[in-house]
Amino acid sequence: MHGSETFAARGARAAEAEDRAAAAALGAGRRPETESEPWPNVHAPDAARAATSEVQKLAPAGRRRALGVFLSNPTAVAGLLILAVVAGAALAAPILFPDDPLEMAGRPLQWPGQDPRFPLGTDALGRNVLAGLAHGARISLLVGAFATLAGLVAGILIGATAGYFGGLVDDALSKLVEIFQTVPGFILLIVLVAIAQPSVPAITLAIGAVSWPQVARLVRAQFRALKEKEFVAAARALGYGHRRIIFREILPNALPPVIVLASVTVATAILMESALSFMGLGDPNVVSWGSMIGTGRDLLRTAWYLSAAPGVAIVLTVLSLNLIGDGLNEALNPRLSGEP
Binding site for another protein (CB under 8 A): 1-3, 7, 10-11, 13-15, 17-18, 20-21, 25, 33, 35, 38-39, 41-42, 44-45, 48-49, 52, 55-58, 60-62, 166-167, 229-231, 233-241, 244, 248-249, 252-253, 339-340
Distance CA 250, CA 224 (A): 10
Q: What angle do CA 121, 127, 131 make, to 5 degrees?
A: 75
CB closer to another protein, 295 vs 329: 329
DSSP code, position 247: I
Q: How many CA atoms within 13 Å lie on the side-chain side of 145?
A: 8
Nearer of residues 30 and 301 to another protein, judged by Cβ: 30
CB of 213 to another protein, least distance (A): 26
What is the distance between the alpha carbons of residues 50 and 149, in angstroms, rounded to a whole number? 47
Q: What is the nearest approach in angstroms of another protein to the Cβ of residue 220?
A: 17
C-beta of residue 123 within 8 angstroms of C-beta of residue 111: no
The minimum distance between CB 221 and another protein, in angstroms, equals: 18
Measured CA to CA, the distance from residue 233 to residue 135 in angstroms comes to 51
Smallest separation, CB 231 to another protein (Å): 5
Question: Of 63 and 175, which CB lies nearer to another protein in the complex structure?
Answer: 63
Decide: 62 and 46 in contact? Cβ < 8 Å: no
Complex with another protein: residue 13 or 297, whichever CB lies closer: 13
The span from the CA of 20 to the CA of 24, in Å, is 6
Smallest distance, another protein to C-beta of residue 172, A: 17
In this complex, which beta carbon is closest to another protein, that of residue 181 or of residue 253?
253
Cα–Cα distance measured from residue 319 to residue 289, given in angstroms and rounded to the nearest whole number: 15
Residue 122 and residue 99: Cα distance in Å, rounded? 14
Cβ-based nearer residue to another protein, 13 or 107: 13
Q: Please say which residue, 20 or 175, places its beta carbon nearer to another protein.
A: 20
- As measured in angstroms, the least distance from the Cβ of 246 to another protein is 13
- Backbone region of residue 166 per phi and psi (left: phi > 0; alpha: psi in -120 to 50; beta: other values): left
Instruction: Give min distance, CB of 326 to another protein, in A.
Output: 22
To which H or E segment does residue 239 belong?
Answer: none
